[in-house]
Chain A
Amino acid sequence: MSDQALTYLDANSVATEGPAWLDVRRKAAHASFADAGFPHRRVEAWRYTDLSRLMAKTDWHPAAPHDGAVLVPEGRSNPFSSIASHKLVFVNGFFRQDLSELDGLPEGVEILPLETALERGTKFESAFDANGPEAMAPIAALNTACARDGAVIRLNEGITLEQPVQLIHYTPDGGATVAHTRNVIELGSGASMTLLEAQIGWGGAYLVDRVTNLNLGERASLTHVRLEDEDTDAVHLSTVLGDVASNASYKANTLALGGRAGRLQSALHFTGEGAHAESNTAYLLRETQHLDSTIVVDHAVPGCTSGALAKGVLDDEAIGVFQGKVIVAPHAQKSDAKQMSNALLLSRDAAMNAKPELEIYADDVQCAHGSTIGELDGDALFYLRSRGIEEQTARQMLISAFLGDVLEQISHEVARDALTERATQWFEVKKEGEV
């Protein structure tokens, strides 16, 4: 039993007065999290990110609905706003119908808030049973016990959704508030869509915790583009738990800029042959920001390919973490897994922790992993400056080039440009700060 967890759950868990299938799971999750507590650095999978310490000494309580206008600070707006989309908007974790766009959904497509889906009697038993690997299970339990709302996106077999779906979360209010959201995304066989997700906050000290259960049917395809841009006092957790069936494909590209501390974790599990999953993250940190990017890929069946690439730019005293784990089951021959972490340290006081782990029980596999930690290339900087390019611009060009492997891979052109622009803004803040 953990007192910290009990106190937290007392204040923030959801009353079990929903549908019976959910109450059972909420109670079990409550008990399991009360027992395990917030993961701390003596838990191997959390040794670089001590969530227990990050959550300590704060009187956490649920965020309240924010009903009025949402005044997003300059430069922090939804980067995908110009893209015609189906859209779900959450503010402080509460669904805002008035800001969302859900008209004209094609046949065979369900996009709605979780709360509404539950009221309609939809069951999400398997999603709420999926706790992911050990590294992520405590957070999944915490989320199950505390999540009030979230997004449900379901595509029937064979549906190709032309417009992307946007999931936008704003956190305008803080003061030790928490918002737990649960997303459930299910794509039937051969269905495909693009998900544009942005988590933007400026409310000060708050916790946002979002768990997304993905279930991709055979030959389904999900492109997932994310921006994580939290207040520099905020703690954020984002967990993706995905099952990927045969010949299905999941591609995630994330730009993470914010937060006092954050953990972006994904557990991707192949359930059928010939599937592909990749999760690529670019993160830019300064001051004492901390970002942990953790991925577990489970090649449980033969013939799947996976990739994880983390590219971090760390300034000041920022700390980056990459933990990548590949599991290849004994019979999962012809698995192909790549994991790479590259960190660019702009300051002597920044630090990077990279931990690759391979658990390979099959022999006919290709697994590559590596990590590099370096500084900006002095020769390249000199070359650019010798052509008249100012030092600051030259640095920015080299850093953008470094991040290109993640950001330029975003297949949705407008989204790609929007996130590239966001990354560029990051330098400009620095520039002003230095003047």
Chain B
Amino acid sequence: MLEIKDLHASVDGTPILKGISLTIGDGEIHAIMGPNGSGKSTLSNVLAGRENYMITKGSIIYKGKDLTELSIEERASAGIFLAFQYPTEIPGVTTMTFLKTAVNAQRKARGEDELDAVKFLKLVREKAKELKVEEDMLKRPLNVGFSGGEKKRAETLQMSLLQPSLAVLDETDSGLDIDALKIVADGVNRMRAPDRSMIVITHYQRLLDYIVPDHVHVLAKGKIIRSGGKALAAELEASGYTDLTESAA
């Protein structure tokens, strides 16, 4: 699915990622953990193609192709989805309008028929119900005035509508209470499929009790300093990041 090799990236001229290599097979879930400021969000933005994030060295191969040659929207239509750590508030664009535009833009880009209003509404209602997203929320401007939990559920709703091949969840658990966390985790788990891979970025081990990863990586100062199975998450929870980070320094 995804093969990252020796990836170096700078943000506005500051080097942040300093040699990341990561291979993700079809259907795998990889957790990336690490202290604040280690570069987790930078990695997710680089994958999504954000413009001021410059790749200075290394490669990203997605489904056998050079990902870096695709524009932001081409990556999305090719199946890459980033659930934002801090979803952007967009006043004046209602959530429903946005969802329909996004779904149909991707369908069009893939040469599929666009969904009409009726079909789309049915689909959204079904998915929204699963994620306990109130219909009222869909009428509000996108992410504007949403609580932390609502924003994360809205991100998960988008993912379930867009059915990506590679989902990057950037701290989708932050700011959620345990009930909200379960709803979101259930939503994510429902999407597990042999042809869908995920990168689950989190600061806490807690999320990984609900979304059980196949592999866990620890990112510190722009490098993966340890990789292991799901047991690594529990180990980190016990020892904290400090030891690891210091040994990396």
Closest residue of chain B to A379 (Cβ to Cβ) is: B88
Stretch at the interface among A93-101, A269-277, A393-401: A393-401
B87 and A385 contact, CB distance less than 8 A: no
A382 CB contact (under 8 Å) in B50, B92, B162: B50
Q: In this assembly, does A21 line the interface, its C-beta being within 8 Å of a C-beta of chain B?
A: no
How far, in whole Å, are A218 and B72 apart by their CA atoms in the complex? 57
A393 and B105 contact, CB distance less than 8 A: yes
CB neighbours of B102 from chain A (8 A):
384, 387-389
CB A421 to nearest CB in B, in angstroms, measures 15
Q: In this assembly, does A390 line the interface, its C-beta being within 8 Å of a C-beta of chain B?
A: yes
CB neighbours of B158 from chain A (8 A):
387
B76 and A380 contact, CB distance less than 8 A: no
Binary per-residue interface labels of chain B (168-203) against chain A in the complex, 1 for a CB within 8 Å, 0 otherwise: 000000000000000000000000000000000000
Q: In this assembly, does A129 line the interface, its C-beta being within 8 Å of a C-beta of chain B?
A: no
A380 CB contact (under 8 Å) in B48, B90, B109: B90
How far, in whole Å, are A349 and B67 apart by their CA atoms in the complex? 34
CB neighbours of B49 from chain A (8 A):
386
Closest residue of chain B to A387 (Cβ to Cβ) is: B102
CB neighbours of A394 from chain B (8 A):
73
CB neighbours of B72 from chain A (8 A):
382, 385-386, 391
CB neighbours of A387 from chain B (8 A):
76, 98, 102, 105-106, 158, 162
Q: In this assembly, does B207 line the interface, its C-beta being within 8 Å of a C-beta of chain A?
A: no
A384 and B98 contact, CB distance less than 8 A: yes
A383 and B90 contact, CB distance less than 8 A: yes
CB A415 to nearest CB in B, in angstroms, measures 19
Q: How big is chain B's contact interface, by range?
A: 20 to 34
CB B225 to nearest CB in A, in angstroms, measures 28
A389 and B101 contact, CB distance less than 8 A: yes
How far, in whole Å, are A247 and B68 apart by their CA atoms in the complex? 62
Question: Which residues of B from 74 to 95 have beta carbons under 8 Å from A?
Answer: 75-77, 81-82, 84, 87-88, 90-93
Residue from A383, A384, A388, A390 with most neighbouring chain B CB atoms (10 Å): A388
Q: In this assembly, does B51 line the interface, its C-beta being within 8 Å of a C-beta of chain A?
A: yes
CB A404 to nearest CB in B, in angstroms, measures 4
Question: Which residues of A from 376 to 430 have beta carbons under 8 Å from B?
Answer: 377-380, 382-391, 393-394, 397-398, 400-402, 404-405
How far, in whole Å, are A404 and B109 apart by their CA atoms in the complex? 28
A388 CB contact (under 8 Å) in B50, B77, B91, B92: B77
A385 and B73 contact, CB distance less than 8 A: yes
B92 and A401 contact, CB distance less than 8 A: yes
B109 CB contact (under 8 Å) in A379, A388, A400: A388
How far, in whole Å, are A386 and B158 apart by their CA atoms in the complex? 11
How far, in whole Å, are A393 and B73 apart by their CA atoms in the complex? 11
Closest residue of chain A to B87 (Cβ to Cβ) is: A383
CB neighbours of A384 from chain B (8 A):
90, 98, 102
CB neighbours of B82 from chain A (8 A):
386
Binary per-residue interface labels of chain B (41-70) against chain A in the complex, 1 for a CB within 8 Å, 0 otherwise: 000000011110000000000000000000
How far, in whole Å, are A402 and B92 apart by their CA atoms in the complex? 7
CB neighbours of A405 from chain B (8 A):
92
CB neighbours of A398 from chain B (8 A):
90, 92-93
B105 and A388 contact, CB distance less than 8 A: yes
Binary per-residue interface labels of chain A (304-346) against chain B in the complex, 1 for a CB within 8 Å, 0 otherwise: 0000000000000000000000000000000000000000000
B48 CB contact (under 8 Å) in A386, A390, A397, A404: A386
CB neighbours of B51 from chain A (8 A):
378, 382
A401 and B90 contact, CB distance less than 8 A: yes
B101 CB contact (under 8 Å) in A378, A380, A391, A397: A397
Question: Which residues of A from 244 to 273 have beta carbons under 8 Å from B?
Answer: none
CB neighbours of B93 from chain A (8 A):
397-398, 401
10 contacts between A and B (CB under 8 A): A378-B51, A382-B88, A384-B98, A386-B50, A391-B71, A397-B98, A401-B90, A401-B93, A401-B141, A404-B92
